[in-house]
Amino acid sequence: MSTIQVVESALMGDRYYRILHDSGLTVFVYPKDGIRTTFGLFGTKYGSIDKSFKRSDEPEARTTPAGIAHFLEHKLFESEDGDAFSRFAKIGASSNAFTSFETTRYLFACTERADEALEILLDFVQSPYFTAQTVQKEQGIIGQEIKMYDDDPQWRVLFNLLRGLYHTHPIREDIAGTVESIAEITADHLYDCYHTFYNLRNMALSVAGSCTPERVLEICDKMLRPSAAVEVSRAFPPEPDSIVEPRVVERLAVAAPLFEFGIKIPNAAKQCSEKEYATTEVLLDIMASDSSPLFRRLLDDSLINEASFSSEFFEGSGYASLIFGGESRDPDAVCEAIRTEMRRLKAEGVCEDDVKRSAKALYGANISGFNSPERLANAVMDMEFSGRELFRYLESFREITAEDVNNRIRELFDEERASVSIVLPLEKEEKE
């Protein structure tokens, strides 16, 4: 029998429902009064980094061609009777899907006929249909997509950084794979990976907005088929704490130089807790937000533009790094300024007032998104797949101290593990 847990936050005066369905699927329902839109998200913990894995019912790990998770995302919308996009369009719902390094998610949004939209979502994701002919056709389509991203400067500057930071972890490889790797994919590969990772025990359903747990559970009872009790573990090659190279430069057709500056964080086998994650966000906010001294200096010196400069805690299964990026007329000067600020913070630390101010701002920014069913549905799924819980993460901003942030500074700021990726404009003779 399905079990329903009410997850509440006294601090925020809000709640959502976590349901462990009979089929093995974890279901989240986040009702929001006064919102007409329903947003549904059906996701699996299967992304581009999952090339090597071991099933609990098999003795050996297996390795597959790069790009299968993304390939499956494309193919699941198709069936013998048409495609899921058309089914959603007929009832006035929009739909989409995306693959990341760690997950694949299928979604819909609508303002009416939400029950029908949820049934379509659960139906097509559970109904794979692949043939040699349809796989071959898709190889050509995805091959063109890969070539398009190969010409995308923002994509290239990021992956050049990841290849500068990581020796063996598949995070350094393109989410869609390569033209060569997808040419190896067969219908058998797709079915094998589908039946491994699209086991409902490896998935989650998240519905937010105009919805009730009773109605979502009723539709799940109707549509979900029980899954075998099989667990999947990721298998990654050993990743050294050192970086591959400190600097990667490439020339592409850009109007102004782009850069990504990253600091690799060692011992990333275990993902951090809610409080550690929030503490790292506070650290980056103090160091590099648009109200920070570093940002103001860079802006005053015309080294960055306000729209493009960003910082991120980039973390997942077996990898973690701090990344700063943007557009600059002098990327090396920006990177040196970041290094200088790292040294200053290590030497001086941060004060309690700055920590409280930043934590309050980040808490408020998160809460402001609670009127978006899309953000809510994704947030609870993000937390589920990373072993964290949404309210615990948000409440931890109230607990963070200067000592917590200063400890993170000492743990994370190591210039020996820093790498920079720069994309420069083509030289004059290359343009002509």
Q: Give the end-to-end CA distance of the chain in Å, rounded to a whole number.
A: 69
Rounded alpha-carbon distances, angstroms, from residue 199 to 80, 96, 432 = 22, 21, 54
- Going by C-alpha positions, the residue among 65, 17, 30, 319 that lies closest to residue 192 is 65
Evaluate whether 31 touches 21 at the Cβ level (below 8 Å). no
| Lookup: tokens for 93 | 């719902």
Backbone angles phi, psi at 28, to 5 degrees: -115, 135
* Three-class DSSP labels, 115-153: HHHHHHHHHHHCCCCCCHHHHHHHHHHHHHHHHHHHCCH
Beta-carbon contacts of residue 310 (< 8 Å; ≥ 6 apart): 324, 325, 326
Return the C-alpha torsion angle 352, 353, 356, 358, nearest 10: -110
Annotated catalytic residue, options 60, 73, 427, 430: 73
306 a catalytic residue: no
By annotation, the residues acting in catalysis are 73
